[in-house]
């Protein structure tokens, strides 16, 4: 039961809390037009959330009960593995973020502001800096390590496109955990413990999910998994192998290197310059020169903190910027401006190419298999035909392109990639010393030597998980809560509350069930049965018990499972027993 801890519990007041006539559950017949995905629509319609500003929501009582269920599962599983709960401030001073360099690299998602003394602060989108500061100030011996700390807190990220309700908010609830270790081996041990804990958490939440390999992105580090809830509405492509258990997100999903790259001595000097006036896109150039888009090599220029870099991929392919960032070792990667291309590279937008380009050039493996291809000439209105690998300087060959369904799996002999959609509900990272080095989080080892701590970090989107549960569990009438996340377990519907017998029987039943610790929402409203049934389907409480004049006459209660639709008629003397059996079975 979720009630404020240590709050005085006046019994009548407590009972009133669960009466639907008294609870704030403002259901809607229709969802507002701007709600696109099912979870957003249903949470609004079920009176769980209300929008305050783009990506910023109020959680009403039903939503808070669901979040409380998720939090509880998370706490139990984190604590089972020895993690301790803390609560860091949401507001952080800029100095900490400057120490790690992220004040510059994090971008506009970091909401920055000044206090009255003109000091710079930010709202926490994640807390590596804050936790490393805490630990470096309070831990100094190997005897205090390992240390695994977590918090459940509101995060703020000024997302460019907040959407889909709780799925991609600007303000949202996250569990974030961080661990500190004497060495890599110990950090990796905890990484895998957390990986297992996450499996248990999402299983207990009743979600269908897959852990997938992930890039470490702006957070940095070298080993990471995302936990992806599979759902059609998911924003993330998830790539899995048809025959082995390899699975990765689109940034990480690897391709096999093509062996030709190293073997043959590349051709050079065969290219010719051809006029392509005003023809810039891959499709236009291919049509104009009567070649297939896969005979084109297109170049993409990015700016990094170390200057511009270029990636060369086949014309019909899509670059994964994270792969380029990884091979180039950049902290920051942004599309180059036209100005950079024209002024710094002395090229022409729409006509850039690798020949004569004087910046680091990363070439996709697939280009190694191309001969006599077409590229831009670095001159307005011209392309080059018959270009070969020997015509330009290659910094490195790399896996740069986006995997597609049907591409060969890099992990097994036979498998092919399949593509699904996923909602990222959690991610675990092995961080190494990225933050502890920058912030000088040190300890003395058993020999009295000073060493840098090794870290891991572990996040769960708590509010996003609630939305993901709805994406996976709903029908045309509303939500179908998995029992462990349901705001209430039983929905007691009194069909005609003005009938004295119905009211009295319902009250008795309600008391009996809640005394057993069951969570019951009593629809005691003076509404028509039609309205009650509709709302009940919408709220999605797993079991509905109906008390009506007709049933009372027959001496039977009706119980319906929201999930299966199965209806049972139960004599009053057996009801408690049956309900408790269901509760025990569903808790497993
Ligand atoms: P995404 O790729 O979806 O933007 P992320 O990888 O940036 O997420 P992390 O830094 O890994 O997010 O944060 C940990 C978890 O917090 C994520 O796995 C996700 O479940 C949740 N989360 C991240 N951003 C949001 C958001 N804008 N709204 C709701 N939940 C979020
Ligand atoms: Mg993530």
Question: Helix/strand/coil (H, E, C) string of 506-545?
Answer: HHHHHHHHHHCCCCEEEECCCCCHHHHHHHHHHHCCCEEE
Which of 74, 425, 460, 461 maximizes ligand 1 atoms within 8 Å of its Cβ, making it the mutation to test the pocket? 461
Determine the Cα–Cα distance for residues 461 and 70; give it in Å rounded to an integer: 10
425 lines ligand 1 (CB under 6 A): yes
Helix (H) or strand (E) holding 227: strand 223-230
For residue 217, give the ligand 1 atom closest to its CA.
Answer: 6
Pairing of strands 84-85, 147-156: parallel
536 lines ligand 1 (CB under 6 A): no
Pairing of strands 543-547, 490-494: parallel
Cβ atoms of 402 and 381 within 8 Å: the answer is no
Q: What is the DSSP string of 79-145?
A: HHTT-EE----SEEEHHHHHHHTHHHHSGGGS-EEE-TT--EEEE-S--HHHHHHHHHHH--BGGG-
- Per-residue confidence (pLDDT) for residue 17, from 0 to 100: 63
Which of 427, 431, 456, 462 maximizes ligand 1 atoms within 8 Å of its Cβ, making it the mutation to test the pocket? 427
Which of 464, 466, 467, 470 maximizes ligand 1 atoms within 8 Å of its Cβ, making it the mutation to test the pocket? 464
Spans in the chain with pLDDT lower than 50: 1-11, 13, 218-220
Determine the Cα–Cα distance for residues 567 and 557; give it in Å rounded to an integer: 10
User: Which ligand has the nearest atom to the CA of 461?
Assistant: 1
- Per-residue confidence (pLDDT) for residue 5, from 0 to 100: 44
Could you give the dihedral angle defined by the CA atoms of residues 158, 163, 165 and 170, in that order, rounded to the nearest 10 degrees? 0
Q: How buried is residue 509: exposed, middle or buried, by Cβ count under 10 Å (0-12/13-18/19+)?
A: buried
Q: Look up the pTM and report it.
A: 0.90
Cβ atoms of 253 and 417 within 8 Å: the answer is yes
Instruction: Convert 93-127 to b/e letters by CB count within 10 Å (16 or more is b).
Output: bbebbebbebbebbeeebeeeeeeeeeebbbbbbb
Determine the Cα–Cα distance for residues 279 and 288; give it in Å rounded to an integer: 8
- H helices present in 162-242, as ranges: 184-204
Which of 424, 426, 466 maximizes ligand 1 atoms within 8 Å of its Cβ, making it the mutation to test the pocket? 424
For residue 425, give the ligand 1 atom closest to its CA.
Answer: 20
39 lines ligand 1 (CB under 6 A): no
For residue 157, give the ligand 1 atom closest to its CA.
Answer: 27
Cβ atoms of 280 and 299 within 8 Å: the answer is no
220 lines ligand 1 (CB under 6 A): no
Cβ atoms of 554 and 498 within 8 Å: the answer is no
Q: Report how far apart the first and last C-alpha atoms of the chain are (Å, whole number).
A: 17
Q: How many CB atoms lie within 10 A of CB 476?
A: 6
Strand order through the sheet with 333-335: 333-335, 297-304, 307-314, 361-364, 396-398
- Per-residue confidence (pLDDT) for residue 207, from 0 to 100: 97
Could you give the dihedral angle defined by the CA atoms of residues 199, 203, 208 and 210, in that order, rounded to the nearest 10 degrees? 0
Determine the Cα–Cα distance for residues 215 and 429; give it in Å rounded to an integer: 9
CA of 92 to the centre of ligand 2 (A): 21
CA of 106 to the centre of ligand 2 (A): 14
H helices then E strands: how many in the chain?
17, 31
- Per-residue confidence (pLDDT) for residue 7, from 0 to 100: 43
461 lines ligand 1 (CB under 6 A): yes
Residues that place a CB less than 5 A from ion ligand 2: 427
The length of the chain in residues reads 588
Q: Which residue puts its alpha carbon closest to atom 24 of ligand 1?
A: 168
């Amino acid at each position: 039961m979720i009630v404020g801890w240590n709050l005085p519990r006046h019994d009548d007041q407590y009972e009133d809390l669960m009466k639907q006539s008294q609870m704030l559950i403002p259901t809607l017949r229709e969802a507002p037009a701007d709600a696109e995905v099912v979870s957003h629509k249903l949470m609004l319609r079920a009176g769980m959330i209300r929008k305050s500003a783009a990506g910023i929501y109020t959680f009403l009582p039903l939503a808070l009960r669901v979040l409380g269920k998720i939090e509880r599962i998370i706490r139990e599983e984190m604590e089972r593995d020895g993690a301790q709960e803390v609560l860091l401030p949401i507001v952080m001073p800029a100095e900490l973020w400057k120490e790690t360099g992220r004040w510059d690299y994090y971008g506009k998602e970091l909401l920055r502001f000044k206090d009255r003394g003109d000091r710079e602060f930010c709202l926490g989108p994640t807390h590596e800096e804050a936790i490393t500061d805490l630990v470096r100030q309070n831990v100094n011996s190997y005897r205090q390590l390992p240390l695994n700390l977590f918090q459940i807190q509101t995060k703020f990220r000024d997302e460019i496109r907040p959407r889909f309700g709780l799925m991609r908010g600007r303000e949202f609830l996250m569990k974030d955990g961080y661990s500190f270790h004497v060495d890599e081996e110990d950090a990796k041990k905890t990484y895998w413990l957390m990986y297992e804990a996450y499996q248990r958490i999402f299983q207990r939440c009743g979600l269908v999910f897959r852990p997938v390999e992930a890039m470490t992105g702006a957070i940095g580090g070298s080993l990471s998994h995302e936990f992806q809830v599979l759902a059609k509405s998911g924003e993330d492509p998830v790539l899995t192998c048809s025959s082995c258990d390899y699975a990765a997100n689109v940034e990480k999903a690897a391709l096999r290197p093509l062996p030709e790259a190293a073997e043959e001595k590349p051709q050079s000097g065969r290219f010719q310059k051809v006029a392509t006036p005003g023809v810039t896109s891959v499709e236009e150039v291919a049509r104009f020169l009567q070649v297939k888009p896969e005979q084109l090599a297109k170049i993409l220029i990015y700016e990094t903190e170390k200057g511009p870099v270029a990636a060369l991929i086949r014309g019909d392919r899509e670059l994964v910027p994270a792969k380029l960032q990884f091979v180039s070792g950049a902290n920051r990667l942004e599309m180059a401006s036209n100005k950079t291309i024209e002024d710094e590279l002395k090229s022409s937008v729409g006509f850039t190419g690798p020949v004569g380009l004087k910046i680091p050039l990363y070439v996709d493996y697939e280009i190694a298999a191309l001969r006599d291809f077409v590229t831009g000439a670095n001159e307005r209105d011209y392309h080059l035909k018959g270009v070969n690998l020997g015509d330009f300087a290659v910094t490195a060959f790399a896996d740069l392109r986006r995997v597609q369904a049907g591409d060969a799996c890099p992990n097994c002999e036979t498998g092919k990639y399949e593509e699904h959609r996923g909602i990222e509900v959690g991610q675990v990272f092995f961080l190494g010393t990225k933050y502890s080095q920058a912030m000088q989080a040190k300890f003395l080892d058993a020999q009295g030597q000073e060493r840098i701590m090794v870290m891991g970090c572990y996040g769960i989107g708590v509010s996003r998980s609630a939305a993901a549960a709805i994406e996976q569990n709903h029908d045309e009438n509303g939500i179908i809560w998995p029992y462990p996340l349901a705001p209430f377990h039983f929905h007691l519907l009194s069909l005609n509350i003005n009938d004295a017998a119905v009211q009295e029987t319902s009250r008795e039943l309600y008391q009996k069930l809640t005394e057993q610790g069951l969570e019951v929402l009593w629809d005691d409203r003076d509404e028509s049965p039609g309205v009650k049934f509709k709302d009940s389907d919408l709220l999605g409480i797993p079991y509905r018990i109906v008390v009506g004049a007709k049933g009372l006459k027959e001496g039977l209660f009706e119980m319906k499972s929201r999930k299966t639709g199965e209806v049972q008629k139960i004599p009053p003397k057996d009801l408690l027993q049956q309900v408790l059996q269901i509760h025990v079975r569903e808790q497993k």
